[in-house]
Amino acid sequence: MNKQPKLALRESCVHDLSRDWVPGRFVKMGAGTGHMASLFLARGFHGACHDLGADSRAMTRRRFADVGEAIRVVDTMSLLHDGEFDYLLAFEVLEHIEDHLDILRQWVQKLRLGGRVLVSVPAHASLDAPTNWSVMCAATNELSCIGCWKPPVSGRSVSSTTVFPSPN
């Protein structure tokens, strides 16, 4: 299968940023077809996927039909418990959500204290930009940022959004 360059770049960047992570429980928001979640499953992680689209959830369920309890696909975020996960993953999702700060706050609640967030978003001042992207990786009490979008994280609550110019 030939991958689109953006997918190959995203996979490489996500692997580089998470290579030292100890396998644990992850939640993948905006699961799509389950492709990125499958990369974490292959590395010994386990967890849950959520997507707003019923078709996407159905595709993800079919993809993971043979992995048993390693992953569950949930229809609503209310089925995910606060403090349940070690890792939160969302790639090319936040730019589609009008109140992205509010949803990020809700997502972070699903992490245990000290959990990590790995999110990619377009690398533009406008989250609506359809091209280019950056990756943000964070511990819930410590943030390192690559790219242009940095939501400060304190404990398990996100307080505000800071936008940085796109690196050139």
Indicate whether this model's pTM tops 0.85.
no
Mean pLDDT of the chain: 75
What is the model's pLDDT at position 64? Answer: 96
- Specify the CATH superfamily of domain 5-16+23-163: Vaccinia Virus protein VP39 (3.40.50.150)
* Tens of pLDDT, residues 70-114: 999 999 999 999 999 999 998 877 766 777 778 888 888 899 988
* Tens of pLDDT, residues 28-65: 999 989 999 999 999 999 999 999 999 999 999 999 99
Q: What would the DSSP string read from start to end of 30-99?
A: S-TTSHHHHHHHHTT-EEEEE-S-HHHHHHHHHHTTTSGGGEEEESSGGGSPTT-EEEEEEES-GGG-TT
